[in-house]
């Protein structure tokens, strides 16, 4: 999910009562909920599509979820000591307990891969022990309705706290609402998955992908038996039979053992891709894309060009 969602998850956990455990609890929860995304720094040293195969891996796996919160807890504890020595430690801050700082940093960090799993991009839960990708297919990567629930509950909780009321209750209401919303979206995905597999056209693989804003709708992405990928949308009642990917001239995926294709960009793309397909470029060469992220307005972000490979068009079986 996006970093605003992760931050709000950390904030609502703090307002549910966890921030009473130690001083600097809220920074531990909020920063901790974003910690695994330190892998975004890979953009400084990786080029092209290489980042696709690196993200949501090593920094989201078990070793990182133990080590990164420990580093964060140490930094926060050191910051508290530094402020105290300079005489700038806020009087209202609770005593800082290193054990609780680590525990809350860990809780925040643990929430991150769980929420990342909810969309179609995927996550490698067990890296470096296993590089298997897992997909929840439940929420779009940016969910404005989840934002609204979490923002309102955190605001409501802070307002009640300021007035001296029961400030943990609004946070718990927000957590319950968010969990119910996630469960409802998971159920919608499962229902559409059953419909997608029982309605024509039939294919060898079906992916049910959430769409932005309209949480009750889904995109059905189907791999046909000849290798072609097509997609259409379920609007909450019926499938729209205008197929998106059939508008592109798709090609046979080239022989990847060809020495011309051995490069880190291609390896990273194929390692990450869940629904790879080859499309004909204007010059007749091949562009590899992923059907989950096929968007004519932003095609280059999730694609790799193979200029030395000529498109061999798919033929219906």
Residue 218: the pLDDT is 95
The reply to whether 232 and 294 lie within a common domain is yes
Q: In this model, does residue 300 exceed pLDDT 70?
A: no
> What is the rounded radius of gyration, in angstroms, for the C-alpha atoms of the chain?
23
Confidence of residue 296 (pLDDT cuts 50, 70, 90): low
Question: Has residue 184 got a pLDDT over 70?
Answer: yes
Whether 297 has a pLDDT exceeding 60, the answer reads no
In this structure, the answer to whether residues 58 and 89 fall within a common structural domain is yes
Mean predicted confidence (pLDDT) in 33-45: 93
Mean pLDDT, residues 137-154: 97
CA distance 213 to 139: 10
Whether 190 maps to a domain, the answer reads: no
> How many Å apart are CA 98 and CA 252, to the nearest integer?
57
Per-residue confidence band for 201, with pLDDT thresholds at 50, 70 and 90: confident
Q: Using 50, 70 and 90 to split pLDDT, how confident is the model at 86?
A: very high
Q: Are residues 102 and 205 in the same domain?
A: no
Mean pLDDT of 33-53: 90
39 has a pLDDT exceeding 80: yes
Question: What pLDDT score does 11 carry?
Answer: 98
Residue indicated by tokens 């400030």: 167
With contact defined as beta carbons under 8 Å apart, do 85 and 102 qualify?
A: no
Confidence of residue 226 (pLDDT cuts 50, 70, 90): confident
Residue 204, judged by CB atoms within 10 A of its CB (0-12, 13-18, 19+), counts as exposed
Query: For the residues 28-37, what does the mean pLDDT come to?
Result: 98
Tell me, yes or no, whether 181 lies in a domain. Answer: yes
pLDDT band with cut points at 50, 70 and 90 for residue 316 = low
E-strand spans in the chain? 205-210, 218-223, 229-234, 250-251, 276-280, 285-290, 303-310
Q: What is the number of domains present in the chain? A: 2
Mean pLDDT for the chain overall: 92
Span 156-183, average pLDDT:
97
Looking at residue 257, what is its pLDDT? 74
Task: Identify the H or E element spanning 178.
Answer: helix 168-198
Instruction: Report the predicted TM-score, pTM, of the whole model to 2 decimal places.
Output: 0.91
Q: Is residue 63 part of a domain?
A: yes
Query: Is there a single domain that holds both residue 39 and residue 163?
Result: yes
In this structure, what DSSP letter does residue 60 have?
Answer: G
Nearest-angstrom CA–CA distance, 211 and 193 = 14
- 249 versus 181: the higher-pLDDT residue is 181
Domain that holds residue 247: 201-317
Judge if 133 and 258 occupy the same domain. no
């Amino acid at each position: 999910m996006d970093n605003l969602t992760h931050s709000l998850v950390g904030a609502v956990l703090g307002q549910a009562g966890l921030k009473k455990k130690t001083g600097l609890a809220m920074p531990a929860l909020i920063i901790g909920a974003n910690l695994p995304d330190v892998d975004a720094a890979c953009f400084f040293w990786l080029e092209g599509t290489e980042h696709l195969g690196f993200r949501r891996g090593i920094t989201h796996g078990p070793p990182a979820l133990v080590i990164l919160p420990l580093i964060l807890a140490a930094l926060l504890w050191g910051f508290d000591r530094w402020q105290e020595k300079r005489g700038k430690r806020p009087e209202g801050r609770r005593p800082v307990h290193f054990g609780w700082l680590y525990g809350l940093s860990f809780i925040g960090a643990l929430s991150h891969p769980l929420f990342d799993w909810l969309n179609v991009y995927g996550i490698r839960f067990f890296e470096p022990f296993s590089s298997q990708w897992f997909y929840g297919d439940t929420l779009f990567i940016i969910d404005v309705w989840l934002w609204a629930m979490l923002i309102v509950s955190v605001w409501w909780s802070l307002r009640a706290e300021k007035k001296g009321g029961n400030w943990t209750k609004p946070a718990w209401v927000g957590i319950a609402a968010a969990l119910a919303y996630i469960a409802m979206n998971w159920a919608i995905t499962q229902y559409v998955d059953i419909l997608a597999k029982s309605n024509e056209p039939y294919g060898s693989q079906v992916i049910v992908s959430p769409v932005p804003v309209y949480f009750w709708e889904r995109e059905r992405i189907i791999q046909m038996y000849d290798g072609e990928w097509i997609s259409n949308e379920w609007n909450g009642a019926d499938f729209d039979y205008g197929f998106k990917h059939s508008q592109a001239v798709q090609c046979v995926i080239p022989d990847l053992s060809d020495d011309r294709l051995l490069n880190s960009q291609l390896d990273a793309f194929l390692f990450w891709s869940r629904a790879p397909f080859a499309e004909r470029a204007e010059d007749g060469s091949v562009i590899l894309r992923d059907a989950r992220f096929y968007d004519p307005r932003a095609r280059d972000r999730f694609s790799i060009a193979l200029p030395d490979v000529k498109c061999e068009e798919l033929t219906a079986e």
